Amino acid sequence: MDPNRMPALFVSHGSPMTALEPGAAGAFMQALGPRIDTAFGRPKAILAVSAHTAARAPVLLAAARHEAVYDFGGFDPKLYELRYDAPGAPALAERVVALMGEAGLPVHLSREGGLDHGNWTPLRYLYPEADVPVLPLAFVPTQTPEQQFALGKALAPLADDGVLVLASGSITHNLRRVFSSGMRGPVDAKEIPESAAFRHWMAERSAARDWEALFAYRERAPHAPDMHPTDEHLLPWYVAAGAGGREAAPLRLHESVTYGCLGMDAYAFGPNAQRLLG
């Protein structure tokens, strides 16, 4: 095992307000960037997969530079003043095209750029100086967890090149419940039992490396249709898992909840994931 092989990561970005109100998850991500640098060295680039950048076929956004995209509405106007102008990674895009081609996976290359809030929110905490090149990959939200895992598996060799695969979504994500008390309910509301049960099941099945159950989460996990009325916020978890591989158990690095039902858990994948524990 290469001790410098960088793990793949999944972080929950939560509400857009996470960018202004970091809470426990934001504090964790602030500490995670330096922890990555200490354990593995500063990533040469980041391959970013966000629940909010999706397409009918995989698309690499290979612009030379990215800016924050404000893909939301109705929140604090201060959010629109936040910026994250990061260098792109056009050369990395060519490498990813080759890797996906070897795996028999189609991918399109676009010279357009932009980072949705699922990308720039965690990146502002992980690398606030915006000095790490970023390559966003739009994934296909209609594909199964197994297909997302296969996508991640094709990306696995990037870790040997010092590239961080960073997936972003939410470990639980039911906006109807979040907004049941209005646009902004209490961020520190007590967690509902359904959210706690789902998060516990994901952590338990991950520790057991029960891939069969994890791939069938929608049928097997408690309250899955409630916690994920649609799949897109959990599917990036499987991309990162595929990049980390089946042999190592997915490791929960952080757990917290906002608004009582929006899980903010983070996971690391790969044989060196333990080195990221605080």
Question: Could you state, in order of their start, the residue ranges of all structural domains in the chain?
Answer: 8-276
Tokens of 277: 């524990």
What's the mean pLDDT in 78-101?
96
1 band by pLDDT with thresholds 50, 70 and 90: low
Selected from 3.30.70.100, 3.90.550.10, 3.30.2130.30, 3.40.830.10, the CATH number assigned to the domain covering 8-276 reads: 3.40.830.10
Contact 178, 259 (CB under 8 A): yes
Question: What pLDDT shows up at residue 15?
Answer: 86
- CA dist 221 and 138 (Å) reads 26
pLDDT tens for 153-173 read 999 999 999 999 999 999 999
pLDDT tens for 192-235 read 999 999 999 999 999 999 999 999 999 999 999 999 999 999 99
Report the Cα 237 to chain-centroid distance in Å.
6
Question: What pLDDT shows up at residue 50?
Answer: 98
Q: Label residues 234-263 b or e (16+ Cβ within 10 Å = b).
A: bbbbbbbbbbbbeebbbbbbbbbbbbbbbb
Q: Which has the higher per-residue pLDDT, 180 or 31?
A: 31
Q: Is pLDDT above 60 for 183?
A: no
The overall average pLDDT reported for the chain is 94
Helices within the chain (DSSP H only)? 23-40, 90-102, 117-126, 145-155, 175-178, 193-207, 211-215, 217-220, 224-227, 235-244
Q: Is residue 61 classed as helix, strand or coil in its secondary structure? A: strand
